[in-house]
Amino acid sequence: MKDTTKDIFKEKSSAATFEEALSQASSFGIRPGLETMRALMDELGNPQERLPIVHVAGTNGKGSVCALLESVFRAAGYKTGLYTSPHLVEYGERFRINGHAAAESILWALLAKIQAAADRVETKLGWRPTEFELLTAMGFLYFQEEGVDILVLEVGMGGKLDATNLAAKPLLTVITNVSMDHENFLGNDIRSIAGEKAGIIKKGVSLISAVEDPVVQQTVLDRFEEVQGAFDQGPEKDGPARLHWVLQECRWQVISQSVLQQTVKLQTPAYCYERLSLPLIGPHQCINLATAVRALELLQEAYPNLGPAAVENGVGRVSWPGRLEVVCRKPLVILDGAHNPDGMKRLAQWLQGVRPAFRRVILVIGMLADKDRQTAAAQLEPLVDRLFITKPPSYRAVQWEAMGDAFHQIKPADKAYIEDNWIALKAAMDEAELEDLVLVAGSLYLIGSLKARMNSEPDVLERKDPEFS
């Protein structure tokens, strides 16, 4: 048997971290399937069944869509819950109420509450819940106890067998773009991966989808038809569950853009938003914006305050760290967690658009060994002048130096290998002139590690603008 609730607090008093306590309370790794999660939630009284939920899946874009949804709900005056993963710096980032991350004391209390339930699950099944299952159960319990008006719930991985899929009757389901990632768990072809994402589709619940690939679209359509039986496609929101295709229902145009934000005109079946100030940069954020706004429009009957004014206000205030995030302006330093082929493609598209504005692009990159390093290098290499290879803080970052071999055209003299990612970033910034761009990418573990160091050692950004003081 693992530690009891009393033992967890004993560990805390002897200076154990929450991460250590969570590790002790859970089983290691990923165990696909809902049997464990279902048993755990039964033990806790199924708080997820009493929560109003918007459930969001997808390969890329789902985090941005969740952030947009939460921000607009909050701007409209509703008490919001936001559950996302992974965190960048602290576990509390995964559990947000009205935009505020859960304090460590709350995490300890939640873990204590579910510890006995996890013990009973182990007795019943012969194994303990995984870390993600425990965290998701903590989230359901926390948001239900806090009485949120809406929970924006991001899938961890896949959809069908994800721990979040115990949300049996969400208000709305959303599937953002789908591409290759996590093949070891979701399948080796796009159709299989799309089938896993489509596993969040529920009987009687409408779906908004931003998928672009025709194979993925057909897979989503087939699954929706299988689950719903008779259904309608189109912009109307009344009647049976409907399937809404963002690319068919919405049109958008970027009116202006800078390194800090873009202004977008968005036309939906319900309204024309003439000028939405979007602090999330990159052309790919436009479809995320359209997806979120369309979802909000469909939820307005249940949440009357979700009008155009709330949309404009909430969109303008949205924040989603680690995604083309500007952390310094002199020199310009941008962090982006792109780590799979589609994410790298979208990062390269943005970089190509802004490349003429910079004398040089200095790339600090570190990727896990199970990610497609070759494709990432092929996407970015034509746009990069100087390269710093570094190691993300993960046991999966083996042979981190091999990332440099994937960049075939950059001369050896323009490649540097620095294992410590903090030292790598400082070296890149020391080299950079004011006309250069320092771009950090390749892993959310890398981005999270750097943001933690920035929080504790902000003097590394001493050349920054006063705006970033």
378 residue type, one letter: A
Structure tokens at 315: 């969109």
286 and 403 inside one domain: no
Percent of the chain residues topping a pLDDT of 70: 90
In the three-class reduction of DSSP (H, G, I as helix; E, B as strand; rest coil), residue 296 is classed as helix
DSSP 317-371: H---TTSSEEEEETTEEEE----SHHHHHHHHHHHHHHGGG-S-EEEEE---TTS
User: Which tokens hold the place of 278?
Assistant: 């979007």
Give the model's pLDDT for residue 32: 75
Residue 100 has pLDDT above 90, yes or no: yes
pLDDT average, residue stretch 285-306: 97
Quick one: average pLDDT of 282-286? 93
Q: How far is CA 103 from CA 142, 173, 269, in A?
A: 12, 29, 41
pLDDT at 15: 35
Residue 469 lies in a domain: no
Residue 311 and residue 223 share a domain? yes
> Is residue 220 located within the same domain as residue 184?
yes
Tell me what pLDDT residue 178 has. Answer: 84
Q: Are 402 and 253 part of one and the same domain?
A: no
pLDDT score for 196: 87
Q: Are strands 95-97 and 100-101 parallel, antiparallel or unpaired?
A: antiparallel
- Nearest of 59, 63, 40, 218 to residue 120 by alpha carbon: 40
180 has a pLDDT exceeding 90: no
| DSSP secondary structure letters along 135-146 | HHHHHHHHHHHH
Phi, psi angles (nearest 5°) of residue 55: -105, 125
Contact call for residues 252 and 289 (beta carbons, < 8 A): yes
What is d(CA 251, CA 248) in angstroms, rounded to the nearest whole number? 8
Residue 115 lies in a domain: no
Higher pLDDT, 395 or 52: 52
Q: Work out the mean pLDDT of the chain and round it to a whole number.
A: 90
Average pLDDT over residues 275-295: 96
pLDDT of residue 378: 95
pLDDT at 358 exceeding the cut of 80: yes
Phi, psi of 80 (to 5 degrees): -105, 145
Phi, psi of 175 (to 5 degrees): -125, 115
Residue pLDDT, tens place only, 197-239: 999 999 999 999 999 999 999 999 999 999 998 556 666 655 5
Could you list the residue range(s) of the whole structural domain that residue 192 is in? 48-98+143-317
Residues 276-285 have a mean pLDDT of: 95
Q: 255 in a domain, yes or no?
A: yes
360 and 429 in a common domain: yes
The encoded tokens of residue 21 equal: 């306590």
For residues 305 and 340, state if they share a domain: no
Burial class (CB in 10 A: 0-12, 13-18, 19+), 232: middle
Q: How many structural domains compose the chain?
A: 2
Domain-embedded: residue 14: no
Q: What is the pLDDT of residue 469?
A: 42
In this structure, the answer to whether residues 334 and 202 fall within a common structural domain is: no
**249 lies in a domain?**
yes
Q: Are residues 154 and 207 in the same domain?
A: yes
Asked whether residue 45 carries a pLDDT value surpassing 80, the answer given is yes
* Last-in-domain residue among 288, 317, 346: 317
Q: Give the integer Cα–Cα distance in Å for 340 and 244.
A: 26
Is 299 found in the same domain as 364? no
Q: Could you tell me if residue 210 is inside a domain?
A: yes
Nearest one of 308, 69, 289, 305 to 173, comparing CA atoms: 69
Q: Which residues pair with 387 in a beta bridge?
A: 363, 415
* More confidently predicted of 3 and 123: 123
Q: What pLDDT is recorded for position 195?
A: 87
Q: Report the alpha-carbon distance of residue 205 to residue 169 in Å, rounded.
A: 7
Task: Tell whether 157 and 219 lie within a shared domain.
Answer: yes
41 is a domain residue: no
Which among 351, 423, 346, 359 has a CA at the least distance from the CA of 385?
Answer: 359
Q: Are residues 177 and 299 in the same domain?
A: yes
Final residue before a domain boundary, out of 317, 334, 363: 317
State the pLDDT at residue 12. Answer: 46
CA dihedral 456, 457, 463, 465 (to 10 degrees): 10
Instruction: Kindly list the distances between the CA atom of residue 342 and the CA atoms of 59, 235, 337, 372, in Å, as whole numbers in the listed order.
Output: 9, 28, 12, 10
Beta carbons within 10 angstroms of residue 41's beta carbon: 24
Tell me the C-alpha distance between 203 and 97, whole Å: 29
CB atoms within 10 A of CB 448: 22
Judge whether 352 lies within some domain.
yes
CATH number of residue 398's parent domain: 3.90.190.20
Q: Are residues 311 and 359 in the same domain?
A: no
Q: What is the pLDDT of residues 368-406, one digit of tens each?
A: 998 999 999 999 999 999 999 999 999 989 999 999 999
CATH number at residue 147: 3.40.1190.10
Q: Print burial letters for 361-370: b (CB count within 10 Å at least 16), e (below 16).
A: bbbbbbbbee
Query: How much is the pLDDT for 187?
Result: 62
Whats the size of the chain, residue-wise?
469
Q: Is the confidence at residue 118, as pLDDT, over 70?
A: yes
The answer to whether the CB of 117 falls within 8 A of the CB of 41 is no
Report the amino acid identity of residue 443. S
Among 273, 291, 317, the domain-final residue is: 317
